Amino acid sequence: MNVYDFDETIFFPDSSYSFVLYCLRHYPRAVLPALAGAGLAKLQHLFGQIQTRELKQQVFAFLPGLSDVDRIVADFWAENEKRIAPWYLAQRRSDDVILSASPDFLLQPIADKLGVKLIATRMDRHTGLIIGDNCHDAEKVSRFLKEYPGVQPDNFYSDSLSDSPMAWYSKQAWLVKSETERVPWPEPDYVK
């Protein structure tokens, strides 16, 4: 089994950012009023005043203004599916797992189309509120083990060193440096 982060790993660029921009272009009346709150939340996050969970909820605060989120997400993927990395498509297997901090409502349609399992941040697509914990850092290992107790992935791929807990849990891990470059995961400093 291989496990993949999604954003900047097998999809370029970030899917949440891309979805917000897509909605801003197509549904500005829903998104524009929420942008000021998202901007303030970004500053608060930079200064450590709020956690990533609160920032993410503020970024998606426009969702109640959309009339049919499922259709909009389907339209988004019809336009953006081409951004899935060719290297991933060439090695995709039916037992792959996408393990992402992005919202599940956004990634589930593309995971289904790819025929792979998804573990992601659970977010109510009508309110933008996160259900449970943000699937990030060590939470990725916890969520993976809830779904696959005792299973150790053969390979893990991510663009971010914040995913080191999952990388160290896997048999092998690969740091995705660009759409075309993957290198072995760096050893922790305490090993050197």
Give the model confidence (pLDDT) of 155-185 as tens digits.
Answer: 999 999 999 999 999 999 999 998 889 999 9
Tokens in use for 177? 């440096």
Give the pLDDT of residue 1.
97
- Residue ranges of the chain with per-residue pLDDT less than 50: none
Domains by residue range for the chain, with CATH? 2-191 (3.40.50.1000)
pLDDT for 174 equals: 98
Selection from 108, 103, 104, 110 nearest residue 77 by Cα: 110
Burial tier of 166 (Cβ tally within 10 Å: 0-12, 13-18, 19+): buried
Contact 138, 164 (CB under 8 A): no
- State how far the Cα of 1 lies from the Cα of 151, in Å rounded to an integer: 9
- The reported pLDDT for the residue numbered 188 is 77
Query: How many CA atoms within 13 Å lie on the side-chain side of 81?
Result: 13
Query: Tell me, what's the pLDDT at 35?
Result: 87
Angle subtended by helix axes 28-46 and 52-59, to nearest 10: 160
Would you state the pLDDT for residue 168?
95
Q: What is the pLDDT of residue 117?
A: 98
